[in-house]
Amino acid sequence: MTKSTILIRSLLAAISVIGGIALVGCDKNASTSSSSETTSGKTETSGGAAIKDPDGYYKYFSDPSMTKPPPKDALFGNGQTIAIEYDGSKSEELDSVFYQLFYVDKEGSVRPVTGGPFEGMTKGTFTTNSKVFTSEADGRPGFMEVSIVQNVKVVGGEQGITGKKVKLGMYPIKFDVSK
């Protein structure tokens, strides 16, 4: 890897862990084909928890480029490895695959947990085995959003890093918080 590739990956990882990827051109309303049900602004998780989701943002879907998505209700958080396969068809030369995690609290509100890059570049098998500490997410149903960021550029000023987020899937997961 070149120094600029390492720098970009490090910056993206830091941004995604601190507070999610805030990018120019992010499209929260990307088209999806759902496997979860939405009625009157509520989506049901695979664990049966009804959530408040008026935009349908958390509907399950998987882009055809995800040749092996995460297993349904995969455990995340206590160092378990989650592996996915992505064919790279939506990527450009230095694109990384990222995840963003959310859990459903007891009142049905979706809460962000953490996010970051998967290990791997452009296409092939990607893995993560991150830990989640001290969180109300333990044992709760949740979501893993998988995406790539195209046309990443490091710019000066307040923008920092720009790019276009492309959602590759939204998958049901559960949390096992490190104690």
Is 37 a member of any domain?
no
Residue in 17, 1, 25 with CA at minimum distance from that of residue 152: 25
Is 55 a member of any domain?
no
Which structure tokens are listed for 29? 């309303």
**pLDDT for 113-172, tens place per residue?**
888 889 887 678 888 887 777 678 888 889 999 998 887 777 777 667 778 889 999 999
Is 80 a member of any domain?
yes
> Rounded to an integer, what distance in angstroms lies between the CA atom of residue 167 and that of residue 81?
21
Is 102 a member of any domain?
yes
Residue in 80, 104, 63 with CA at minimum distance from that of residue 177: 80
**pLDDT for 17-44, tens place per residue?**
333 433 333 333 333 333 344 444 555 5
Find the CATH number of the domain harbouring 148: 2.60.40
Q: To the nearest whole number, what is the mean pLDDT of the chain?
A: 74
**pTM flag (> 0.85):** no
Is 92 a member of any domain?
yes
Count of the separate structural domains present in the chain: 1
DSSP 86-130: E--TT--TT--EEEEEEEE-TTS-EEEEEEEEPBS-SSEEEEE--
CA distances from 17 to 6, 104, 113 (A): 16, 19, 9
- Give kind and range of the element (H or E) at residue 7: helix 3-19
> Rounded to an integer, what distance in angstroms lies between the CA atom of residue 58 and that of residue 56?
6
The whole domain housing 112 covers 3-31+61-175
Amino acid 37: pLDDT: 43
Which structure tokens are listed for 64? 């055809």
Amino acid 5: pLDDT: 44
The predicted model gives 86-98 an average pLDDT of 82
Amino acid 27: pLDDT: 34
CA distances from 136 to 8, 48, 56, 104, 173 (A): 32, 18, 23, 9, 15
Question: If DSSP codes are grouped into helix, strand and coil, which group holds residue 166?
Answer: strand
Is 39 a member of any domain?
no
Is 168 a member of any domain?
yes
Is 121 a member of any domain?
yes
Amino acid 143: pLDDT: 92
